[in-house]
Amino acid sequence: MDYNIDLDNITVLREKGIDLLFQFGPILLKSLILLLVGRYAIRLLMKLFGKTLEKYEIDPSLATFFKSFLNALLWVLLLISVATTLGMEMTSFVAILGAAGLAVGLALQGSLSNFAGGVLILVFKPFRVGDTIEAQGTIGEVESIDILYTKIKNFDNKVVTIPNGALANNSMINYSQKPTRRVEIKVGVAYGTDLKKTRNIILEVLKLDQRIHADPEPLVKFVNFGDSSLDLIVRVWVDSENLWPVYWDNIEAIKEAFEQQEIEIPFPQRTVHHLYSEGK
């Protein structure tokens, strides 16, 4: 008797399972196909969108931001379509989505701030991809500007990720925005050195470098009585990309010119006086 009941129950469950399969199987299959086709379509659209941006030479910063935003929007639309196909009512889904959005918004206030910061950066353009900037204790080249974060490659080839909110709301130095930069070299010579002669030697060295601009003209000025030296400042203007090569080449050339002209480059010294006579 028990065995018959169990068999009857199994038969009923099997029939219900078959009914459910025929009832919901096509819907699940249709939703799965929609998800796979939609995923492929999003990839295809993103490739086409990327090529369009390249064709019209859109700024790389804006291009990265637009692609990230469009990709997120397409995925939201796809998920809504899949949910609708599964039989979920749109009004219910929108209500759930709104409640979830509110909860996520409260939990991710920092991310929303970063999103707003990214929009401000792309609108006002304080820097672009490829610029060298200093921000949040990091100096390096901007690699990408995404929806929430900006990636900076420093001079050690390390990538630093900085939230856009911090970049948009704090001070930042852009070393690439202007086409020219000023090179500053500090020079020290021994006390008793002829400053006019020293200045002329430095100016002659600077004249040999074609990368240095004639206007504004190079400047060499005496600025300080140091502990062991007379301190001079050398200032020249160059194209931004030549800043460090000009600095390195000319500081070495000035040192060699001083040696040839017997201009003494001082080093810290101390004079010791003996207070007692010899032998005591």
Look up the CATH number of the domain holding residue 33.
1.10.287.1260
Q: What is the CATH number of the domain that holds 157?
A: 2.30.30.60
Residue 18 has pLDDT above 90, yes or no: no
Residue 2 has pLDDT above 60, yes or no: no
pTM (2 d.p.): 0.58
Please report the pLDDT score of residue 202 as a whole number: 95
Please report the pLDDT score of residue 1 as a whole number: 46
Which residue would you say has higher pLDDT here, 29 or 22?
A: 29
Choose the final residue of a domain: 174, 196, 215: 174
Q: Which amino acid is at 52?
A: T
Total count of domains within the chain: 3
**Separation of alpha carbons 249 and 256, rounded Å:** 11
For residue 229, give Cα distances in angstroms to 147, 190, 204, 262, 268: 53, 5, 22, 15, 8
Same domain, 20 and 72: yes
Please report the pLDDT score of residue 30 as a whole number: 81
Over the stretch 258-280, which tens digit does the pLDDT of each residue have?
999 999 888 776 777 767 666 55
Same domain, 169 and 193: no
Whether 112 is in a domain gets the answer no
Same domain, 151 and 204: no
Neighbours of 218 (CB within 10 A): 19
Q: Are 93 and 83 contacting, i.e. CB atoms less than 8 angstroms apart?
A: yes
Same domain, 94 and 139: no
CA atoms within 13 A on the CB side of 16: 6
Burial class (CB in 10 A: 0-12, 13-18, 19+), 101: exposed
Same domain, 87 and 33: yes
Whether 169 is in a domain gets the answer yes
Choose the final residue of a domain: 107, 136, 165: 107
**Separation of alpha carbons 67 and 150, rounded Å:** 15
Which residue would you say has higher pLDDT here, 11 or 106?
A: 11
Please report the pLDDT score of residue 52 as a whole number: 86
**Separation of alpha carbons 220 and 189, rounded Å:** 13
| Helical segments of the chain, H only | 2-55, 60-85, 90-107, 109-124, 164-169, 195-207, 243-260
Please report the pLDDT score of residue 82 as a whole number: 81
What 3-state DSSP class applies to 139?
strand
Please report the pLDDT score of residue 76 as a whole number: 81
Choose the final residue of a domain: 81, 107, 133: 107
Domain residues for 137?
117-174
Same domain, 16 and 97: yes
Please report the pLDDT score of residue 7 as a whole number: 59
Mean pLDDT of 179-184: 94
Whether 250 is in a domain gets the answer yes
Average pLDDT, the chain: 83
Same domain, 38 and 98: yes
Same domain, 97 and 133: no
Which residues, 6 or more positions from 85, have their beta carbon under 8 angstroms from its beta carbon? Answer: 27, 30, 31, 34
Neighbours of 145 (CB within 10 A): 25
Whether 37 is in a domain gets the answer yes
Cross-strand bridge partners of residue 154: 140
Q: What is the CATH number of the domain that holds 231?
A: 3.30.70.100
Which residue would you say has higher pLDDT here, 118 or 255?
A: 255
Over the stretch 185-216, which tens digit does the pLDDT of each residue have?
999 999 999 999 999 999 999 999 999 999 99
Please report the pLDDT score of residue 12 as a whole number: 61
Same domain, 43 and 123: no
Same domain, 98 and 19: yes
Same domain, 83 and 35: yes
Torsion sign across C-alpha atoms 51, 56, 61, 63:
negative
Q: Are 170 and 136 contacting, i.e. CB atoms less than 8 angstroms apart?
A: yes
Same domain, 252 and 187: yes
Residue 172 has pLDDT above 80, yes or no: yes
